[in-house]
Structure 1
Amino acid sequence: MSLITTRVHGDIHELQLARPPVNALNPLLCLELAHGIERAVMQGAAGIVLAGGPKVFSAGLDVPYLLSLGDDRDALLQAWSAFFRAARALAACPVPVAAAMAGHAPAGGCVLALCCDYRVLADGPYRIGLNETQVGLVAPEGIQALLARVVGAHRAERLLVEGAMPEAREALRIGLVDELTDIDDVPARARAWLEQLLQLPSMPMRETRAIARRDVVAALAPERIELERFVEQWSHPDTQAALRAMLARIGK
């Protein structure tokens, strides 16, 4: 069964993460997302909506799965590589992508959203952000750059160091998201933004977009992610203790 559901609305393709209950990003889902983006473009999509589940867009990486890999360094590298392949597919997509977040988007879910052109979040008690320090992780320099790109360097520093997850209204105020709407209208508003954009002359819009988004692609270059170093940090006792404590809290 596919972990990505595709709906076609004219020349806009909507890709919905379909791994309930919280769309935890395991390697299979990440690779299906990367392939889904490539396939949509090959099929002639002029714009893409990336949607998630109700109340949770994506809870980020599948931590129980990653912990189950233990000290298998190769397996950990493959798992994280699959995630960054999905992120790079979004960042380098030749057509605009709007994130439709009908719920929370922590950590890896936020990274996927930051790789998109436009972010629509459900209005309400929904949070988005890079909470890595809260769970014992260090966001790579390139990921930090993605956040700084949308909220500014100083605000990004404060959010990153604290692992803060602002709620919807605050996320809109600081520019972390572009629009709030009723939870039931999130995908429609994402499509509406794309439809308006696609009314522009195609070549100038796409070429201007490509120039403006070079820094998004550059942020995900291997040398700015340092995956080997990240996996080493994953195995640090502080990180492992924090991750297991988080799972214990969730399990209560």
Structure 2
Amino acid sequence: MHLVETRSHGDIAELRLARAPVNALDPALCAAIRDGLATAIVSGARGIVLSGGPSVFSAGLDVPYLMSLGHDHDALMHAWEAFFGAARAIADSPVPVAAAMAGHAPAGGCVLALCCDYRVMARSPDPARPFRIGLNETQVGLVAPEGIQALLRRVVGPHRAERLLVGGLMPTADEAHAIGLVDEVATPEDTLPRAIAWLQGLLALPREPMLETRAIARADVVDALHPRRIELERFVEGWHRPDTQAALRAVLARLGK
């Protein structure tokens, strides 16, 4: 079974994350995202939609998998390099990428969405259990690297980004739309059509001027994912802090792992 399923919508390729149940980002899924993007572009896609499962776009990094690695520094570095490699591939795509999020997008799921050009998020059909998006790293004992923080600052502004990042807050879809974290809110069924419609609007423009303008406008997105702004070695060292490990074990307990 493919971890990323590719579907054609004319000039637009949809890459659907398909690692049940919540599209947790392990190295295999991250590699499949990179490969899917590269294949779609080589095959002539003029726009790409990154979509996920119902209720959950992506739950972020696969914490049970990461915890199973123990103190294997090389394996942890490989896992995180795979994730940031997938994020860079989205950020550096030569064609526009829209995220169609039919559910939650915490942590790594939010990072992937922030790397896209446009974000459509679903409003939960159950108002008592709204879908949420955000960088909740501090809630699980992690520090969002400076480059990832820059991605959030870019869309919501410095002061609001500080509040969200330090508190590890997860706005609802409507709250995220109000502050610019997502561009559009739709029903779960309409997230994909709305993402496609946005891309079609871009594709109707003169192609080269649009793409060149986009490249200039998004240079800061690509730069935010540069290794110097991620400091992966420092990030992985922090993984073993006692308070970080305690918070991550609490996550595992909640997951029943």
Alignment of 1:97-108 (within 5 A): 97-108=97-108
Is the counterpart of residue 73 in structure 1 residue 59 in structure 2?
no
Q: Following TM superposition, by how much is the alpha carbon of 1:96 offset from its aligned partner in structure 2, in angstroms?
A: 0.2
For structure 1, the residue ranges without an aligned partner over 5 or more in a row are none
Structure 1 ranges of 4+ moved more than 4 A:
none
> Under a length normalisation based on structure 2, what TM-score does the superposition of the two structures give?
0.97
* Counterpart residue number, 2:127: none
Deviations along 1:160-193, whole A, 9 cap, x unmatched? 0000000011000000000000111111110010
In 1: Cα distance, 2:239 partner to 2:210 partner: 40
Q: Aligned residue for 2:209?
A: 204
Helix, strand or coil: the match of 1:29? helix
Residue 31 of structure 1 is matched in structure 2 by 31
Whole-angstrom distance in 2 between the partners of 1:223 and 1:163:
23
SS of the residue corresponding to residue 44 of structure 1 reads coil
How big is each residue's C-alpha offset from its partner over 1:40-99, in whole Å with a ceiling of 9 and x where there is no partner?
A: 000000000000000000000000000000000000000000001100000000000000
User: Could you say which residue in structure 2 is the equivalent of 1:45?
Assistant: 45
Letter in 2 for 1:239: T
Alpha-carbon RMSD: 0.8
- Partners in 2 of 1:123 and 1:194 — Cα distance? 21
Determine the C-alpha separation between the residues in 2 that align with 1:97 and 1:61.
Answer: 21
Matches within 5 A, 1:1-252: 1-124=1-124, 125-251=130-256
CA distance in 2, matches of 1:250, 1:77: 24
Taking structure 1 as the reference length, the TM-score comes to: 0.99
Write the letter of the residue equivalent to 2:108. G
Q: Deviations over 1:138-171 (max 9, x none)?
A: 0000000000000000000000000000001100
**CA–CA distance in structure 2, aligned partners of residues 223 and 168 of structure 1:** 32
Deviation at 1:249, TM superposition (A): 2.0
Taking the aligned partners of 1:171 and 1:67, their CA distance within structure 2 comes to 30
